[in-house]
């Protein structure tokens, strides 16, 4: 059969499939998804207990684009030597080029197997149906997923305790000035934050803490990060380094196999990074489609993250070095804005505010990062300086 085979029908894989058609590719496209459901958006899973999964594209769109979408289809292994994908049902597919968009899976540490985790729509149903008035919910991990679930549970009337080993929330994700704003809001909403606590184990109803009595809940959720889904790549002999290793064109160590999305690590400004975000999956899906068609591409879109908790929206662009100086810029209202410069240019920025109140300022900062425009810290931190004017001058 040949053509292009895509393993993984999440945001990245779906975007790549349609981008191939948009770029004029007329060959066969086979999109394999191991879940039975039509491909859906994952960010809303942690936020709304009453909504159905939002599909990425309606089913008719795949047929119209001549994309052979195969749901509930698991891949057994890949044989790069003859460019063949073997499926669990013992059938096989040949390919001219292969894209691995296998995403990531919830991290489950030894001793935590009984906890609920969030990755799929069925995970969301299992979790969100537990969010009832008076229910006692324990959440391990104060990252984005843990805190978003905490906000959703509190809005549903549940009692929530978040246990985190680090001394603050969002310790690996955003600067303390932004994280503190989020923490204060959770405390005001009645969430109990147990920070700097060592969790030694957990199951469906208990969290064990070092030197303390176990905590008992109606439901325990582990939100302790995720792991790139690299098993197929590893068994195929591809190079792995914090994900499937790819170059600036998203090509793996095999010239006919590409990888994109949560499962891959790629070069960005002199370092190798792996991103887990809806925006990165979208961007990389488009870029890798061009790469597979021989276009010269650059894996350099500005990393972007966001999180909605209560009525607050947190947005971050670029990658912060949390061990280097971070500068705060005063803003009108009750929003917060911080940024970081490296080598005379803006390298990262983050904002938090009610709804979209900080989005205009954030978009300007995001464009300044993209342009790698020279900026002076003193000027950028001065609230009397108009950000749009700074962008125009750049």
Model confidence over 68-110: pLDDT tens digits? 999 999 999 999 999 999 999 999 999 999 999 999 999 888 8
311-393: CATH topology is: Enolase-like; domain 1 (3.30.390)
Indicate if 121-222 has the same CATH topology as 4-105+226-292: yes
What is the Cβ-side half-sphere exposure of residue 201, based on CA atoms within 13 angstroms?
Answer: 7
Determine what percent of the chain is predicted with pLDDT higher than 70.
98
Residue 389 has a pLDDT of 87
Determine what percent of the chain is predicted with pLDDT higher than 90.
86
Please give the residue that has the higher pLDDT: either 161 or 43. Answer: 161
Say how far apart CA 30 and CA 95 lie, in whole Å.
9
Q: How is 203-226 classified by DSSP, letter by letter? A: -SSEEEETTSPPEE-SEEEE---E
Residues 23-37 have a mean pLDDT of 97
133-185 pLDDT tens trace:
999 999 999 999 999 999 999 999 999 999 999 999 999 889 999 999 999 99
Residue 382 pLDDT class (50, 70, 90 cuts): very high
* Category of 355 on φ-ψ map: left (φ > 0), alpha (ψ -120 to 50) or beta: left
Residue 77 has a pLDDT of 97
Instruction: Identify whether the C-beta of residue 304 lies closer than 8 Å to the C-beta of residue 280.
Output: yes
The SS3 assignment for 329 reads strand
Extents of the domains making up the chain:
4-105+226-292, 121-222, 311-393
Please give the residue that has the higher pLDDT: either 391 or 141. Answer: 141
Residue 237 has a pLDDT of 97
Say how far apart CA 160 and CA 207 lie, in whole Å.
13
Residues 49-67 have a mean pLDDT of 90
Per-chain mean pLDDT for the chain: 94
Residue 300 has a pLDDT of 66
Say how far apart CA 134 and CA 159 lie, in whole Å.
6
Residues 208-225 have a mean pLDDT of 95
Residues 257-272 have a mean pLDDT of 93
∠340-345-349 over CA atoms, to 5°? 35
Identify the CATH assignment for 121-222 out of 3.90.550.10, 3.90.1300.10, 2.40.110.10, 3.50.50.60.
3.50.50.60
Please give the residue that has the higher pLDDT: either 49 or 15. Answer: 15
pLDDT of 266 > 60? The answer is: yes
Looking at the DSSP assignment, which residues form a beta bridge with residue 160?
137
Tokens of 230: 């690299």
Instruction: Identify whether the C-beta of residue 14 lies closer than 8 Å to the C-beta of residue 38.
Output: no
4-105+226-292: CATH topology is: FAD/NAD(P)-binding domain (3.50.50)
Residue 157 has a pLDDT of 96
Residues ≥6 apart with Cβ < 8 Å to 247: 266, 267, 299
Residues 14-21 have a mean pLDDT of 98
Tokens of 38: 């039509």
* Inter-CA distances, 96 with 2, 23, 71, 81, 84, Å: 5, 17, 21, 12, 9
Residue 69, class by beta-carbon neighbours within 10 Å (0-12 exposed, 13-18 middle, 19+ buried)?
buried
Residues 225-251 have a mean pLDDT of 96
Sheet holding 244-245, edge to edge: 244-245, 264-268, 271-273
pLDDT of 1 > 60? The answer is: no
> Global pTM?
0.93
106-128 pLDDT tens trace:
988 888 889 999 999 999 999 99
Please give the residue that has the higher pLDDT: either 173 or 188. Answer: 188
Give the number of other Cβ atoms within 10 Å of residue 112's Cβ: 18
Phi, psi of 376 (to 5 degrees): -100, 130
* Inter-CA distances, 73 with 48, 68, 379, 392, Å: 28, 12, 55, 50
Tokens of 62: 């795949």
Residues 303-315 have a mean pLDDT of 95
Residue 137 has a pLDDT of 98
Residue 67 has a pLDDT of 98
């Amino acid at each position: 059969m040949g053509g292009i085979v895509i393993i993984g029908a999440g945001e990245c894989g779906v975007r790549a499939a349609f981008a191939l058609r948009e770029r004029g590719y007329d060959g066969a496209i086979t999109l394999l998804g191991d879940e039975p459901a039509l491909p859906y958006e994952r960010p809303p899973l942690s936020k709304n207990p009453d909504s159905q999964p939002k599909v990425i594209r309606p089913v008719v769109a795949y047929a119209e684009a001549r994309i052979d979408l195969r749901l509930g289809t698991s891949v057994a292994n890949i044989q790069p030597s003859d460019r063949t994908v073997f499926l669990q049902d013992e059938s096989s597919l040949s390919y001219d080029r292969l894209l691995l968009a296998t995403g990531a899976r919830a991290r489950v540490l030894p001793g935590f197997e009984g906890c609920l985790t969030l990755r799929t729509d069925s995970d969301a149903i299992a979790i969100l149906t537990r969010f009832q008035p008076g229910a006692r919910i324990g959440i391990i991990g104060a990252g984005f997923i843990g805190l978003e679930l905490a906000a959703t549970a509190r809005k549903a009337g549940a009692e929530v305790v978040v246990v985190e080993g680090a001394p603050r929330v969002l310790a690996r994700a955003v600067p303390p000035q932004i994280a503190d704003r989020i923490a204060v809001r959770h405390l005001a909403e009645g969430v109990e934050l147990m920070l700097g606590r060592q969790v030694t184990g957990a199951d469906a109803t208990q969290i064990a803490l070092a030197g303390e009595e176990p905590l008992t809940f109606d439901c325990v959720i582990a939100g302790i990060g995720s792991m790139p889904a690299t098993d197929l790549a590893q068994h195929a002999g591809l190079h792995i380094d914090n994900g499937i290793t790819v170059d600036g064109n998203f090509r793996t160590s095999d010239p006919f196999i590409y990888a994109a999305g949560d499962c891959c690590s790629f070069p960005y400004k002199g370092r190798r990074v792996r991103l887990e975000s809806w925006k990165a999956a979208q961007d990389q899906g488009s870029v890798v489609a061009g790469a597979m068609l021989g276009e010269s591409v650059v894996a350099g879109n500005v990393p972007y993250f966001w999180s909605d908790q209560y009525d607050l929206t947190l947005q971050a662009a670029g990658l912060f070095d949390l061990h280097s100086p971070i500068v705060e810029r005063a803003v009108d209202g009750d929003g917060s804005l911080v940024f970081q410069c490296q080598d005379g240019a803006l390298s990262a920025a983050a904002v938090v505010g009610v709804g979209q109140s900080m989005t205009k300022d954030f978009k300007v900062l995001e464009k300044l990062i993209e342009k790698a425009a020279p900026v002076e810290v003193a000027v950028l931190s001065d609230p009397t300086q108009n950000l749009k004017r700074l962008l125009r001058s750049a």
